[in-house]
Amino acid sequence: MSINCIVVTPAETAVETEASSITLPLFDGDKGVMADHAPMIGRLGNGELKLEGPEGGSRFYIEGGFVQVLDNTVSILTNRVVAVEDLDSSALAEELSDTLAMPGNNDEELDLRERASDAVRAQLRVAQRS
C-alpha cells in the first residue's frame, strides 16, 4: 500500500508523488510515516524529507512549515523545498560565513542572524549526508 505525498510552498506544488514510507523533520526530531498511519498534524523543522518508493527514494531539504497525515495522504506546507542533489556544500559553507557576519546590534538582528544560520546549517547537514 502506498501513501500520497504532496509538498506545497507559497509559490507552487513542488512535489506530488506516491511513496511506501516517508521520513519528516519535525521540529523536535524525525518522524516516520507508513501506510495507514494514524491521523496527525505536526510542526516541521528544517531538515531532510525522505520519500521511499518501489523505484527507489527521493530526498529533499525542507524549511519549516506544517504536516498533516490523513487517510494515507501526507500534506506538507513548507516555506522552501530543494532536491538534495541541488544543494552545493561549498556554496552553503560560503553562505554560512556570510550569514554569521550579519550584524547583531539588537535583538531583532540577532534573531534574524540565528534563524538564517540555522537554516544554512540544516542545509549543510542534509547536503553532507549524500
Enter the pTM of the model. 0.84
Q: Look at residue 47 in the predicted model and tell me its pLDDT.
A: 94
* % the chain with pLDDT above 90: 66
- Cα 8 from Cα 12, distance rounded (Å): 6
Q: Look at residue 95 in the predicted model and tell me its pLDDT.
A: 87
Torsion angle, CA of 105/107/110/114, rounded to 10 degrees? 180
Categorize the per-residue pLDDT at 130 as very low, low, confident or very high, splitting at 50, 70 and 90. Answer: low
**Are the C-beta atoms of residues 50 and 57 closer than 8 Å to each other?**
yes
List of residues 6+ apart from 93 with CB closer than 8 A = 124
